[in-house]
Amino acid sequence: MISNIDHLGLAVHSIATARVFYEEVLGLTCEAEEEVASQQVRTAFFTVGQTHIELLEPTDPTSPIAKFLENRGEGIHHIAYRTDDIEAQLATARRQGLRLIHESPIIGAGGKRVAFLHPKGTAGVLTEFCE
């Protein structure tokens, strides 16, 4: 079951530059900064109630985030829903004929199990399940 929006992923050229808005203007605290080698990104998480803002900076020109920035520029990259059963969410999506980017969960930032759905089946929004 989906409990809430876990985080919004925002693609940025530079976490160092982008974080100023979240820290100085919104007054949020960076809870964690981490490089996720499997996704070729550096991430920074800011907490807003039950939800987080995840800044995503590419660590390599071939990173999916680098491609996104090239094509679309900075902005909202994905929405992540928190679930207590990621396998069940993926099974439901598969039954509905959605295109899965990950057939089974991978380990994302913070050691969470995550999986992405292709935006083609989700009205153009890259969607992440996060357990």
- List contacts with Zn ion (CB under 5 A): 9, 80, 128
Instruction: Identify whether the C-beta of residue 55 lies closer than 8 Å to the C-beta of residue 19.
Output: yes
Cβ proximity to Zn ion, 57 vs 128, nearer residue: 128
Give me the sign of the Cα torsion angle 36, 41, 42, 48. negative
Cβ proximity to Zn ion, 24 vs 103, nearer residue: 103
Q: How many other CB atoms are found less than 10 A from the CB of residue 44?
A: 24
Cβ proximity to Zn ion, 76 vs 91, nearer residue: 76
* Residue whose structure tokens are 């069940």: 88
CB of 26 to Zn ion, least distance (A): 19
Q: How many other CB atoms are found less than 10 A from the CB of residue 105?
A: 18
CB of 58 to Zn ion, least distance (A): 14
Cβ proximity to Zn ion, 22 vs 97, nearer residue: 22
Q: Give the residue nearest to Zn ion (CB).
A: 9
CB of 25 to Zn ion, least distance (A): 22
CB of 54 to Zn ion, least distance (A): 5
Q: 97: number of CA atoms within 13 Å, CB side?
A: 0
Strands 2-11 and 41-48: unpaired
